[in-house]
Amino acid sequence: MSLVREMPVNAVARHVEVTDKRLWRIVRHYVSKAIAALDLKSLRAIGLDETASKRGHNYITVFIDLNRSDKPMIFATPGKGKDCLTKFCTFIEAHEGCPENIVEVVCDMSPAFLSAVEQEFKFASVTVDWFHVVQLFTKAVDDVRKLEARQTKLPDHTRWAVLKGAEKERTQHQENALLELVEQGFATAKAYRVKELLRWVRRAESKQAAKWRITHFLKHAAEYAADCPLLEPVRSALASFERHLPRILHRWHSLHTNARLEGYNGLFQAARARARGYRNVENFITMVYLIAAPIQVLVTS
C-alpha cells in the first residue's frame, strides 16, 4: 500500500510481478475496507473542493474533516455540485454521523455548492475560504490582461508580473514590466492594484476591522474599475465579492480554512501526472484516499 501511494501502480505491479489490474483490485479492496470503518459520529466541520480527474471538465469532489489533524479526507465522489453533497450526506448517515450536527462548512463561491450546502446542512454556517477570494481576483486580472493584449502591445513578462503576489520575488524583467504598466496607465495595472488591495483587507485582526477595510476596499476598487470596458472582469469579481460578503466575513470568526485541502489537491494532481492519468475515475479516487485518508490506521485497526 505504501509503494502504491508513492509510485505509479504499473511500476509497482512490475516490481511485485502481478498485473496492474490485479493490483488495483487488491488496493481497492483494502481502501474500501478502510473507508467502511470510518466513524463519523463526531464530525462537526467539513471542507470541500473539487479537483480535476482528467483533462477537460472532469472533476471529483473531495470532503475533509476540518477537526482532524492528520489524513483528514473522509469522502470523494465523481462530479461537482448538488448531487455530490447529497451523496456525502448519505455517506455520513451510513457511518453513524448526522448531517444536522455539522456546524461549519468551508468551500468556494460555487452557486451549486452553496445552494446544496444550505439545503443539506441546515444548521451549518458557511465560510468562503480566502484562497478562493484571491483566486477570483487573480483570474479577473488575467482576464483583463488577455483583453488588453488584443488591443495593444503589453510589456514583455507582463503575465507573471501581475499574477505573482507582492510577497513573491519577481525577476528584474517582471519588475520592469510592472513599472511600465503602472507608469503608462494600462488597465491591467489597475486590475493588479485592486487584487493587491485585498492583502490590506486580509490583515484585519477582527470582523469589525475587516468590515471597515472592506468598505474602503470596495469604494477604491470601484473607482479604479470605473468607466473602462476592459475592466469588466474586475467589476464582475467585485459584484461576486459583495454577493458573498457575509460568508467571506465569517472567516474572521472561524478557526478553519481549506488551506490543507488546497495543499492535498497539489498532491492529487502530482500523483495523476506521475501516473500519466488513470484508466477510470474510480482508480483516481482510490489514489486520493490513499494519499489523504487515514487508510493505514483504519486497515491496521
Same domain, 244 and 267: no
Q: Using CA atoms, how far apart are residues 249 and 270, in angstroms rounded to an integer?
A: 33
Do 53 and 120 have their domain in common?
yes
Predicted confidence band of residue 212 (pLDDT cuts 50, 70, 90): very high
| Residue showing cell 470596495 | 218
Question: For residue 166, what are the β-bridge partners?
Answer: none
Quote the pLDDT of residue 54: 84
Q: State which amino acid sits at residue 35.
A: I
Place of cell 511600465: 180
How high is the pLDDT of residue 52?
92
Biggest distance spanned by C-alpha atoms of the chain: 67
**Domain co-membership, 98 together with 145:** no
Domain hosting residue 67, numbered range: 2-129+257-300
The band of 260, judged by pLDDT with boundaries at 50, 70 and 90, is: confident
Same-domain check for residues 61 and 50: yes
Quote the number of domains for the chain: 2
Which residue among 248, 267, 287 closes a domain? 248
Q: Please, which pLDDT band fits residue 5 given cuts at 50, 70 and 90?
A: low
pLDDT band at 205 (very low <50, low <70, confident <90, very high): very high
Residues 114 and 11 in one domain: yes
Q: Look at residue 27 in the predicted model and tell me its pLDDT.
A: 83
| pLDDT for 299 | 59
130 beta partners: none
Structure-model confidence comparison of residues 28 and 172, the more confident one: 172
62, 292 Cβ separation under 8 angstroms: yes
Same domain flag for 159 and 274: no
pLDDT at 298 exceeding the cut of 80: no
16 has a pLDDT exceeding 80: no
Distances (CA, A) of 267 to 49, 60, 161, 264: 14, 14, 26, 5
How many whole angstroms from its chain centre is CA 111? 15
Domain boundary among 229, 248, 267: 248
pLDDT for residue 182 = 95
Closest CA to 80 of 117, 43, 44: 117
pLDDT bucket at 23, cuts 50 / 70 / 90: confident
